[in-house]
Structure 1
Amino acid sequence: MCLTVRVVYELPLRQTQGLMRSIAALMGVEITVPDFSTLSRRSKGLALPPVRRRTACWRPVHLVVDSTGLKVFGEGEWLENKHKIKVKRKRWRKLHLGLDLVSGEIVCSDLTTDDVGDPIALSDLLGQIDGPVGKFIADGAYDGAATRDLLTTRLGEIVEVIIPPPKTAVASSQSALNPTVRDRHIAKIETKGGRMAWQKSTGYNQRSRVKTQMGRWKTVIGPKLKARNLDNQKTEAKIGVRVLNRMTELGHPEFSRVA
């Protein structure tokens, strides 16, 4: 709970400690609030309950995945601000998110170093989904044989995969007899009015919703990570996912029949 309050209000650990102790004192509750060093130590590798889907687990997920960069606060920024030293390279982490288009929930997430490619992180994302996937949407960074083989192995042959081929893509040698999904996308782009028409007909333009979720993250949670090491940063990212899902659930309308 203390770490969740810290993420929501973007507080340092010392301020989180003081806030929680003040709340306990105002409520008259005799409870020991962990100090800042204990919060930092216990957040490393903290095991959180799995993300609970609001909708039925048997309903196929319409999964759209993407990644964005989160800044890491470190000594480089302090040196640049205080001593006007130009930092050669800023440090980043990559946040990978998987969004269910039907419910608007984040159903899978991962935080990696900036040198981990999107297709490499996809395996861990798919391992977090406990139900069937009916549709998979991603940008051109996921195009490739490795991604297609992974999706076939994990999700089966019936999943609808929507990944735009690059502009220089050509059909495979067997496209006339046994076309792949990628071959069909290439042919449709060439014969059905170009890429914009293909995006509209396949539903690829719904990928903008995960971009919107990235914007919500950087507005509500923040564009940078406060934790200093990768394990604590992973915990901070997992808590951020739970916070956004909770806010989505609170703002989701509920319908009930009254007559």
Structure 2
Amino acid sequence: MELVLPVPDFSTLSRRADGLKLSNPKPRMNSEPVELVIDSTGVKIFGAGEWQETKHGTRIKRRTWRKLHLDLNAGEIVCSELTEDTVADPTAVPDLLDQIEDTVATFLGDGAYDGTPVRQKLADRFEGIEVIIPPPKTAILGPQAATAPTARDRDILALQKNGKMSWQKQTGYGRRSRSETLMGRFKQVIGTTLRSRKLNNQRTEAKLGVAVLNTMTALGRATFEKVSA
């Protein structure tokens, strides 16, 4: 096309990444409440040790990771956060929720998000929200379970009575698999490694990856129709 496009070198991009402020994903055009599906995955840091291994074949015993937290709604990433790998999944929830301006009707997460802090934060933030989180096998009913059971108490009783598969079918927990698909898509398209070395730069790099995926989603997605055999 004979276009001349000015492109900054990598060192310039690295210096500017620390102060680059990226906006959160744009609010959706429709007014339907959000069905929030949350999960996290590990991404490797391509630091000095990994560079030595790549260039000289040096064996590195210790790997360094960051944890990428993503919230999905209808195929679109509505909020994201990159933390150190020592940060527990529930700890990242408040910062993720602060990025959401829409009304959330349903929250789906795996057992890592079970507990009073996450459930209470969701209840305080979104009125009437449905929380679908599987309690662990060792979960204990609350003190008021006999007279005023909470949603978690009802989940525990349903799991004890009917089993895990029945509970998943009844609550629609299978929809959480979309988050696993999203994680695979992020790693396949954006990559499994962060090239930046500073945490702030890595956060910028991760948010750029999220913006790229959302842009690709906005361009169009395949539709599937069932046809007769």
Q: Match of 1:245, SS?
A: helix
Q: Match of 1:131, SS?
A: coil
Q: TM-score, normalised by structure 1?
A: 0.80
Residue of 91, 97, 102 corresponding to 1:120: 91
State whether residues 64 and 207 of structure 1, in contact with CA within 8 Å, keep that contact through their aligned partners in structure 2. yes
Residue of 15, 21, 42 corresponding to 1:47: 21
Residue of 203, 224, 244 corresponding to 2:193: 224
Q: Match of 1:178, SS?
A: coil
Q: Match of 1:45, SS?
A: coil
Q: Please give the alpha-carbon distance, in whole angstroms, between the structure 1 residues aligned to 2:4 and 2:68.
A: 40
Q: Match of 1:68, SS?
A: strand
Q: Specify the alignment match of 1:203 in structure 2.
A: 172
CA RMSD of aligned residues (A): 1.9
Q: Specify the alignment match of 2:227 in structure 1.
A: none
State whether residues 53 and 105 of structure 1, in contact with CA within 8 Å, keep that contact through their aligned partners in structure 2. no
Computing the radius of gyration from Cα coordinates, the structure with the larger value is 1
Q: Match of 2:143, SS?
A: coil
Aligned-pair CA distance for 1:155 = 1.7
**Structure 2 vs 1, CA of residues 196 and 45 (structure 1 numbering), >3 Å: closer, same or farther?**
farther
Aligned-pair CA distance for 1:250 = 1.4
Deviates more, 1:133-142 or 1:182-191: 182-191
Deviation by residue 1:35-54 (Cα, 9 ceiling, x = unmatched)? 33221111113112331144
Q: Match of 2:140, SS?
A: coil
**Structure 2 vs 1, CA of residues 65 and 28 (structure 1 numbering), >3 Å: closer, same or farther?**
closer
Residue identity in the other structure for 1:202: T
Deviation by residue 1:84-132 (Cα, 9 ceiling, x = unmatched)? 55434210000000001xx311000000110111101000100000011
Q: Specify the alignment match of 1:12 in structure 2.
A: none
Residue identity in the other structure for 1:70: V
Q: Specify the alignment match of 1:166 in structure 2.
A: 136
State whether residues 27 and 101 of structure 2, in contact with CA within 8 Å, keep that contact through their aligned partners in structure 1. no
Q: Specify the alignment match of 1:94 in structure 2.
A: 67
Aligned-pair CA distance for 1:81 = 4.5
Aligned-pair CA distance for 1:253 = 6.6
- Please identify which structure carries the higher helix content: 1
Matching of residue 75 in structure 1 with residue 67 in structure 2: no
- Number of aligned residue pairs: give it: 223
Q: Please give the alpha-carbon distance, in whole angstroms, between the structure 1 residues aligned to 2:197 and 2:42.
A: 16
* Unmatched tracts of structure 1, length 5 or more: 1-22, 255-259
Q: Match of 1:27, SS?
A: coil
Residue identity in the other structure for 2:23: P
Q: Match of 1:46, SS?
A: coil
Residue of 106, 111, 117 corresponding to 1:146: 117
Matched-pair identity in %: 56
Q: TM-score, normalised by structure 2?
A: 0.90
Residue of 150, 175, 183 corresponding to 2:153: 183
Q: Please give the alpha-carbon distance, in whole angstroms, between the structure 2 residues aligned to 1:45 and 1:63.
A: 29
Q: Match of 2:157, SS?
A: helix
